[in-house]
Structure 1
């Protein structure tokens, strides 16, 4: 199993190259702490690393990744709320100005939601995946019904885009997010990355549609 060795080799390259090139930035981040102005909530998928896609420097973005880039609705009950805790930290402590949901093509979590393979799985066999993806149940049923009457629809992509909208809706159920958005100090954005084409789509506020960004355009 050579994967961990490859990881350590990468660390050594990092220490010899990028770390030395950005030593001042790392020293400043260590001395003064982080103050990113933007949070990205993306998927765990190894093909969609936000830092690479957006070509950012260390300390510029606060990243949370989970299965299918989902945000659960606000819940102040007991339990361990990893997504909510990270969101709370970003909004109330770091005081980020943007929260970006970044969905992507070929999402395994969305595929699991559509297939229903994990709906009745036991612990250790997909139980947690099935429970997590229940957040998309309503949208999955809508997309599935639409697929039956319109066979040409790409159900996978439709549900991937819906997942971004669901997360944006759930973000607004958090009082801290809702208050800051109303005050104009926080903005929410929905995006979607096409892996095969390398194109980023942005959710347009006016018509609620995802539109491709021209990589050559300036001042988007």
Structure 2
């Protein structure tokens, strides 16, 4: 593989600083994690967006969260014969092998993936409609949510934020199409949670099923 290159110097320096400080000061903890394996209590499905830092939001340490990231924090429906298995595989491992107690879908403000879905579904991004567009075909998961948002007759500038939250609801709904998730939820072994965070303000909202709305945490 001739295309792989050494790390850029700034990442090397950051690693060396971490190894000499954080790791050195907590070496026993890291060795325990390595030898005893992981026992996370929660899985978090969040966006790939570099501004979304799940562990910082919750002040979590290594070993606390099993984290899966993808464009727009989406969960596809259960389709064993489909081709969107990355998220489904992570989900299966977390629920059946790690037996997490909580499964959190975390969306966020100003999501580029969600905006891409708005553009694609409104006809303003024909390149995403191409069969060769990986992003476009992934955002097909969110089309039902886009249709529901359009039915609300919102102002154009309000649609993206509404769809950001709809993406969370689509994912929560799709989670229940997986038999192992449905079984764990119905037995009380697993609880599902929908969260949305405002990157600029640092606010966090949760989906309240009783009111069918997002409310401040």
Does TM-score exceed 0.5, indicating one fold? yes
Q: Does 1:120 align with 2:129?
A: yes
Question: 1:58-73, aligned counterparts within 5 Å?
Answer: 58-73=62-77
CA–CA separation in structure 1 for the residues paired with 2:216 and 2:10: 35
Residue 129 of structure 1: CA displacement?
Answer: 0.5
Structure 2 spans left out of the alignment, 5+ residues: 1-6
**Pairwise CA distance, 1:4:** 2.9
Matching residue within 136, 143, 148 for 1:137:
143
Residue-by-residue CA offset, 1:139-173 (whole Å, 9 max, x unaligned): 213323434xx427611110000000000000010
SS in 2 for 1:191: strand
In structure 2, distance between residues paired with 1:195 and 1:109: 15
Q: Which residue of 1 aligns with 2:29?
A: 25
For 1:112 and 1:73, how far apart are their aligned partners in 2?
20
Is the CA contact (8 Å cut-off) linking 2:108 and 2:164 kept in structure 1? yes
Match of 1:168 in 2: 172
CA distance in 2, matches of 1:40, 1:173: 18
Matched, 1:57 2:86: no
Contact 2:47 2:72 in 1 (8 A): yes
Which one of 80, 97, 101 corresponds to residue 101 of structure 2?
97
SS in 1 for 2:8: helix
TM-score where L is the length of structure 2 = 0.89
> Which consecutive unaligned segments of at least 5 residues does structure 1 have?
214-220
- Aligned-residue Cα RMSD (Å) equals 1.7
User: Where has structure 1 moved over 6 Å in runs of 4 or more?
Assistant: none
Count the aligned residue pairs: 206
SS at match of 2:66: strand
Query: CA separation of 1:205/1:80 partners in 2, compared to 1, >3 Å: closer, same or farther?
Result: closer
The separation in 1 between residues aligned to 2:100 and 2:155, in whole angstroms, is: 42
Rounded Cα–Cα distance in structure 2 between residues aligned with 1:189 and 1:78: 26
CA distance in 2, matches of 1:78, 1:133: 15
Q: CA deviation at 1:178?
A: 0.3
Of 3-12 and 84-93, more deviation after overlay is shown by 3-12
TM-score w.r.t. the length of structure 1 is 0.88
The 5-angstrom pairing of residues 1-220 of structure 1 reads: 4-77=8-81, 79=83, 81-116=85-120, 117=125, 118-121=127-130, 123=132, 127-147=133-153, 150-151=154-155, 154-213=158-217
